């Protein structure tokens, strides 16, 4: 017993690293031998260090502490109930879910908030209905905690609740933030109408759409953005870089030729370059004449333009750039035109095989070899 008391006293160290080592030692003892001490520390309203040490120890105990902490949710002291709720959320044991759902009805606002946050960390759809009842029922902070928790939980039931929240202006900010976490690609269609609203909603909706698509690794349907092209173009002048970027990404998804010049210009921006290339590719054959003109006239990003033509299958169009001043462009041409069964392509490759650039020469030689190998097989 003396050893346990000595170990507990070491938990009062100001250094969290030292406390972490002590907690590891404490876990070697039966928890019944020190839980009452930790509870006493948790009740200490005058010593934050003791409370924090107790909470750290409870977290480290994990599932072993859940039953004890659940009993503390019924304590007469609201601060103790708040601490218990917080630690149960940090532990994340689903066994605490029912008790935390009950705690959502606690008379103390801060206990409600702590319980909602902890339920969000545990992440069970079973709690969505109980959380939804808190929305609009008490203070704004409770509503915020409930909506955030629903966003953390996610799933169809959560999204149904969040969609209803979009119908009320006072919940928009909270709902968009939650939808950003919980939304799926199929939910994006519910967000695009808000891009055509006032500036605040527009920004929230765009940010949510882009982050959902990025998280899911998906490209939303172009049709979602057809009516929004003027708005997305206007937002290219936004003073907020994050909004400009989100609007540009949505413009890339739109498959609309009105975005063409914006895609070309964005090739100079490393952050937007990949989106710009995908935007050009999404335009398909419609983009080819403009890309050729840009390749003729631009000094920068000419290799990217040549590669984009190649990715569009426009290797024939690349033939005209076989004598380009840029060796990187000539290399791309040499690699691309090897697939063409045209006398002009063979002639160009033979000339490129004599190029002053070793990279161009090697690319031309490879394409010629591949052409001859294919000819033998046929």
**Could you give all domains of the chain from N- to C-terminal order, each with its CATH number?**
1-122 (1.25.10.10), 314-377 (1.25.10.10)
- Whether 62 and 95 have beta carbons less than 8 Å apart is answered as no
| Confidence tier at 145 by pLDDT (50, 70, 90) | very high
Residue 332: the pLDDT is 92
Which residue did the predictor score with more confidence, 223 or 16? 223
Question: What's the chain's length in residues?
Answer: 378
Which residue in 269, 261, 329, 251 sits closest to 291, CA to CA? 261
Residue 170 DSSP label: G
Residue 83: the pLDDT is 92
Residue 111: the pLDDT is 97
Which residue in 71, 113, 69 sits closest to 91, CA to CA? 69
pLDDT in tens, 53-71: 888 888 988 998 899 999 9
Q: Quick count: other Cβ atoms within 10 Å of Cβ 355? A: 19
Number of C-alpha atoms within 13 angstroms, CB side, residue 248?
26
CA 48/CA 56 separation, integer angstroms: 12
**Residues near 231 by beta carbon (within 8 Å), at least 6 away in sequence:** 195, 196, 202, 247
Name the 3-class secondary structure at 285. Answer: helix
pLDDT in tens, 119-128: 999 999 999 9
Which residue in 220, 287, 209 sits closest to 242, CA to CA? 209
**Residues near 51 by beta carbon (within 8 Å), at least 6 away in sequence:** 41, 42, 44, 83
Which residue did the predictor score with more confidence, 11 or 292? 292
User: Over 80: is that where the pLDDT of 375 sits?
Assistant: no
Q: pTM for the whole thing?
A: 0.78
Residue 45: the pLDDT is 67
pLDDT in tens, 195-233: 887 767 888 889 999 999 988 888 999 999 999 999 999
What mean pLDDT value characterizes the chain? 90
User: Over 70: is that where the pLDDT of 319 sits?
Assistant: yes
Q: In this structure, which long-range contacts are made by residues 325-330, counting pairs with CB atoms below 8 Å and at least 24 apart in sequence?
A: 326/302, 327/355, 327/357, 327/359, 327/360, 328/302, 328/303, 328/359, 329/295, 329/302, 329/303, 330/355, 330/357, 330/360
Task: Work out the average pLDDT over 299-323.
Answer: 91
Percent of the chain with pLDDT over 90: 58
Across 44-48, 218-222, 338-342, the highest mean pLDDT is recorded for 218-222
| Confidence tier at 141 by pLDDT (50, 70, 90) | very high
User: Over 90: is that where the pLDDT of 358 sits?
Assistant: yes
User: Over 70: is that where the pLDDT of 378 sits?
Assistant: no
User: Over 80: is that where the pLDDT of 304 sits?
Assistant: yes
pLDDT in tens, 148-179: 999 999 999 999 999 999 988 889 889 999 99
Which residue did the predictor score with more confidence, 330 or 298? 330
Task: Work out the average pLDDT over 18-44.
Answer: 82
């Amino acid at each position: 017993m003396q050893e346990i008391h000595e170990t507990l006293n070491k938990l009062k160290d100001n250094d969290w690293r030292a406390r972490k080592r002590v907690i590891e030692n404490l876990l070697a003892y039966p928890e019944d031998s020190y839980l009452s001490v930790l509870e006493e520390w948790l009740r200490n309203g005058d010593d934050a260090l003791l409370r924090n040490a107790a909470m750290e120890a409870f977290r480290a105990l994990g599932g072993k502490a859940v039953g004890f902490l659940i009993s503390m949710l019924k304590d007469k002291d609201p601060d103790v109930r708040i601490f218990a709720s917080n630690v149960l959320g940090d532990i994340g044991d689903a066994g605490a879910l029912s008790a935390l759902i009950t705690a959502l009805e606690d008379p103390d606002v801060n206990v409600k908030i702590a319980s909602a946050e902890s339920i969000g960390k545990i992440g069970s759809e079973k709690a969505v209905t109980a959380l939804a009842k808190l929305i609009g029922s008490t203070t704004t902070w409770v509503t915020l905690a409930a909506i955030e928790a629903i966003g953390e939980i996610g799933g169809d039931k959560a999204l149904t609740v969040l969609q209803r929240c979009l119908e009320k202006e006072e919940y928009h900010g909270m709902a968009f933030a939650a939808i950003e976490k919980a939304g799926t690609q199929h939910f994006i269609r519910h967000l695009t109408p808000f891009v055509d609203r006032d500036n605040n909603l527009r920004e929230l909706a765009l940010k949510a759409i882009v982050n959902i698509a990025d998280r899911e690794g998906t490209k939303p349907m172009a049709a979602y953005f057809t009516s929004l092209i003027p708005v997305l173009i206007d937002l290219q002048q936004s003073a907020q870089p994050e909004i400009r970027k989100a609007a540009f990404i949505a413009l890339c998804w739109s498959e609309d030729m009105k975005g063409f010049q914006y895609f070309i210009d964005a090739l100079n921006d490393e952050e937007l370059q990949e989106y710009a290339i995908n935007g050009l590719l999404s335009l398909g054959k419609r983009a080819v004449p403009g890309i050729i003109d840009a390749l003729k006239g631009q000094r920068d990003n000419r290799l990217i333009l040549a590669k984009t033509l190649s990715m569009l299958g426009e290797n024939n169009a690349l033939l005209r750039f076989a004598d380009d001043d840029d060796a990187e462009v000539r290399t791309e041409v040499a690699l691309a035109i090897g697939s063409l069964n045209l006398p002009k392509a063979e002639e160009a490759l033979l000339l490129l095989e004599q190029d002053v650039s070793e990279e161009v020469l090697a690319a031309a030689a490879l394409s010629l070899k591949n052409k001859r190998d294919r000819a033998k097989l046929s």
